[in-house]
Amino acid sequence: MKASAYLIPTAKEDPQDAVVASHKLMMRAGLVRKSAAGLYSYLPLGLRILKKIEGIVRSEMDLAGALEFQLPILTPSEIWKESGRWDKMGKEMFRLKDRHDNESCLGPTHEESFCVLVKPMVRSYKDLPINVYQIHTKFRDEIRPRFGVIRSREFTMKDAYSFHLDDESLDKTYQTMRKTYRRIFAGMGLSTIPVQADSGNMGGSASEEFMVVSPIGEETLTICPSCQYSGNIEKTPVILNPKSSKQPFVGSEKIHTPAKKTITEVAEFLKTKEENLLKAVALWADGTYVLVFLEGDRELNENKLKNHLGCNELRPMGPKEMETLGLVPGFIGPGFPKSVNLKVIIDSLIDWNFAYISGANEVDYHTSGIQISKFFKDDEVSKIDVSQAIEGDPCPNCGTGLTAEKGIEVGHIFKLGQKYSKAFDITVLNDKGKSTTTTMGCYGIGVNRCMATVIEQCNDDKGIYWPVSIAPFTVCLVSIAKNPEDIAKIESIYKALVAAGIEVLWDDRDLGPGFKFKDSELIGFPIRLTLGKGFLEKGEITILDRKSMVEETVPFTTNEDLVGKLQNQIQALHETLKKEVEQAGI
């Protein structure tokens, strides 16, 4: 491809609304253009990269035995109501009506659609297992789309769904997908960590996210340096550290704490540690009022609480709601007036016999020496883990202190179990002729997000350096020549590279060499081949490795000689990536 006939709208300055490297560089390198909030158009260079990522995903999924489909983006409301998710999905689901007043939505995911499609096709255990997938557009009406295509409203996803006779078969496919995902991400140059995760609205018994460690990640990972446990902080169990010991606060029982409502304010006022206080969190959950007690230095993990309650919506109680229940905002303690409308939950970290400081249920007063055991009986409250894990907490597997990292989620796999199979009555006859409900798995990859995440990992002060497997072109040929005779010599080399099957973009634009060099480094072609004065006068070429920025000038005798040198260098890049993929597949 000749650059003079291509569209390469690069820019020197970062867009004003971009705050992360991938967003800035995708715009500056001419890969995408913003259409509206969370909506992006892919330009020719960007689309080439996106299609290469899709190719890697498709190749590995096919190799794993999955079958590719393509379903409509618009999905009818009936199937979502049948599964019970029409209301549960919330405002992120983009709902609309057609001219006949039929309700539909733009598919944020396609469990329901694939269930309806596959159900009549599987009748016997002989038809199973089956793993179906598509690489297609999804839409989620994000309240705050940000970071460019990392969190956009419209995006491309690879979503797959497997159907099985039993859990043993499901686990086999789940493990195959787990290995396949590591190979897919390694194949595009991404180093991922599988972490235990919360299943959220998807449901099911188990799930894992594939995370890429990044300071811009919206997720927090907990990692054990000893046993290699890894989890999403939303899922990580919090267990008591057997080595920890608290020194109770010594002081009068009732303490005047004027205008001191927060845990930090009270702890500072009393010159004690936050862990010596009881934190009370008053919430409304699908019509039920809930009061959660935590140790003062802990934050509530809303995902754990929602999973325990099985609720869709969780929000803080308002002042009037608290007043109705006899609760005093900022000063709630275990001695509050008992109400049949209030469900009490005690975090599992709380020591029932420790003397805490808590709100005195009276404005501007706290009470010390509060023992939970004196206020509640075991059968009156729920004692569960609802606190957020923090760095240094014991690993749930081996007890070693956990470390924390930020991460970007690029893939997620689920064991859905029979949640959707039962909802849609997907049954087959087993080997004894008995009707059996199938069990399911689900496996997703954010294709656009992968593209941006690679940039987050592969950039420097000059721009992007693409892994050879997904680069828009493998070689950028920069020519520095003016007269037709010299240009003809360079064109003969360009044609030789193309004939050899090398993906090459010839920058033949009528621009200065400095401009061309900066563009090639910004866009990130793995190899830059410069043909200028050295080539025309001495028969020398200059080859730049974009990632290392190591430049080498080498002589060549014929076009075939040059092609051979480049092919060797390209092959070396592919071999390095191949080793990483093989290691990821172990």
* pLDDT of the chain, 586 residues: tens digit per residue: 999 999 999 999 999 889 999 999 999 999 999 999 999 999 999 999 999 999 999 999 999 999 999 999 999 999 999 999 998 888 899 999 999 999 999 999 999 999 999 999 999 999 999 999 999 999 999 988 999 999 999 999 999 999 999 999 999 999 999 999 999 999 999 999 999 876 555 445 578 999 999 999 988 999 999 988 998 888 899 998 877 778 888 877 899 999 998 999 999 999 999 999 999 999 999 999 999 999 999 999 998 999 899 887 899 999 999 999 999 999 999 989 888 789 999 999 999 999 999 999 999 999 999 999 999 988 888 899 999 999 999 999 999 999 999 999 999 999 999 999 999 999 999 999 999 999 999 999 999 999 999 999 999 999 999 999 999 999 999 999 888 999 999 999 999 999 999 999 999 999 999 999 999 999 999 999 999 888 888 888 899 999 999 999 988 888 888 889 889 999 999 998 888 888 776 5
Q: CB–CB of 383/209 below 8 Å?
A: no
Top CATH class, 254-384: alpha beta
pLDDT at 199: 54
pLDDT at 202: 47
In this structure, the strands spanning 439-446 and 504-507 are unpaired
In sequence order, what are the residues at sequence separation of 6 or more whose Cβ sits closer than 8 angstroms to the Cβ of residue 162? 129, 130, 131, 132, 170, 173, 174, 177, 440, 441, 442, 443
Residue 553: strand, helix, or coil: strand
pLDDT at 339: 81
Amino acid letter at 321? Answer: E
Its pTM stands at 0.87
pLDDT at 311: 85
In sequence order, what are the residues at sequence separation of 6 or more whose Cβ sits closer than 8 angstroms to the Cβ of residue 479? 487, 490, 506, 507, 508, 531, 532
Domain with CATH 3.40.50.800 in the chain: 465-584
In DSSP notation, 17-58 reads T--SHHHHHHHHTTSEEEEETTEEEEPHHHHHHHHHHHHHHH
Instruction: Write down how long the chain is.
Output: 586
The CATH superfamily holding the domain 31-73+106-232+403-456 is Bira Bifunctional Protein; Domain 2 (3.30.930.10)
Q: Which among 275, 414, 413, 401 has a CA at the least distance from the CA of 347?
A: 275
How far apart, in whole angstroms, are the C-alpha atoms of residue 124 and residue 435? 9
The edge-to-edge listing of strands for the beta sheet with 74-76 is 74-76, 103-106, 94-97
**In the chain, count of helices (H) and strands (E)?**
14, 31
- HSE, CB side, 13 Å, CA atoms: give it for residue 220: 13
Q: CB–CB of 348/383 below 8 Å?
A: yes
Q: CB–CB of 94/52 below 8 Å?
A: no
* Fold annotation for 465-584: Rossmann fold (3.40.50)
Domain with CATH 3.30.930.10 in the chain: 31-73+106-232+403-456
Phi, psi of 138 (to 5 degrees): -125, 160
pLDDT at 250: 82
Buried b (16+ CB within 10 A) or exposed e, 248-277: ebeeeeebebeebbebeebbeebebebbbb
Q: CB–CB of 232/405 below 8 Å?
A: no
Residue 392: strand, helix, or coil: coil
In sequence order, what are the residues at sequence separation of 6 or more whose Cβ sits closer than 8 angstroms to the Cβ of residue 6? 44, 505
Amino acid letter at 323? Answer: E
Q: CB–CB of 53/447 below 8 Å?
A: yes
Domain with CATH 3.90.960.10 in the chain: 254-384
Q: CB–CB of 451/32 below 8 Å?
A: no
If 0-12 CB within 10 Å is exposed, 13-18 middle and 19+ buried, where does residue 363 land?
Answer: middle
In sequence order, what are the residues at sequence separation of 6 or more whose Cβ sits closer than 8 angstroms to the Cβ of residue 25? 31, 455, 459, 463, 464, 522
How far apart, in whole angstroms, are the C-alpha atoms of residue 506 and residue 477? 5
